[in-house]
Amino acid sequence: MTTPQYRVVNPATGQTVEEFASATDAEVGQALEAADAAYKAWREVPIEERAKVVHRIGQLFTERAEELASIITEEMGKPLSQSRGEAEFCTDIFEYFATEGPALAADQEIKPIGGGKAVIQKLPVGPLLGIMPWNYPYYQVARFAAPNLVLGNTIILKHAESCPRSALAIQQIMDDAGLPAGAYVNLFATHAQIADIIADDRIQGVSLTGSERAGAIIGELAGKNLKKAVLELGGSDPYVVLDSADVAASAAAAWETRMENMGQACNSNKRIIVMEDIYDEFVTALTNHANGLVPGDPAKEENGTFAPLSSRAAAEGLAAQIKDAVDKGATVHAGGRAVEGPGAYLEPTVLTGVTEGMRAYQEELFGPVAVVYKVSSDAEALELANNTVYGLGGAVFSQDPERARTLARQLDVGMSNVNGVGEGADMPFGGVKRSGFGRELGPLGMDEFVNKRLFYIAE
Would you please indicate which residues are annotated as catalytic (active-site) residues?
A: 232, 266
Q: Please, what is the angle between helix 139-151 and helix 80-104, to 10°?
A: 20
Q: Which residues of 320-344 are buried (b: 16+ CB within 10 A; e: fewer)?
A: ebbbebbeeebebbbbbebbeeebb
Distance of alpha carbon 2 from its chain centroid, rounded? 30
DSSP string covering 270-316, please?
-EEEEEHHHHHHHHHHHHHHHTT-EE--TTT--TTEE---S-HHHHH
Distance CA 264, CA 298 (A): 15
User: Parallel, antiparallel, or unpaired for β 451-457 and 117-123?
Assistant: antiparallel
Q: Any bridge partners for residue 184, and if so which? A: 155
Backbone angles phi, psi at 339, to 5 degrees: -75, 135
CB neighbourhood size of 252 (10 A): 15
* Nearest Cα residue to 384 out of 284, 270, 283: 270
Q: Where would I find the H helices in 133-274?
A: 139-151, 164-177, 191-199, 212-224, 247-259
CB 78, CB 263: distance < 8 Å: no
User: Parallel, antiparallel, or unpaired for β 127-131 and 154-158?
Assistant: parallel
Grouping H, G, I as helix, E, B as strand and the rest as coil, residue 357 is: coil
Secondary-structure percent of the chain, ordered helix, strand, coil, rounded to 5: 40, 20, 35
Q: Any bridge partners for residue 131, and if so which? A: 158, 208
CB 360, CB 371: distance < 8 Å: yes
* Nearest Cα residue to 375 out of 405, 407, 412: 407
* Nearest Cα residue to 325 out of 284, 370, 289: 370
Distance CA 77, CA 459 (A): 63
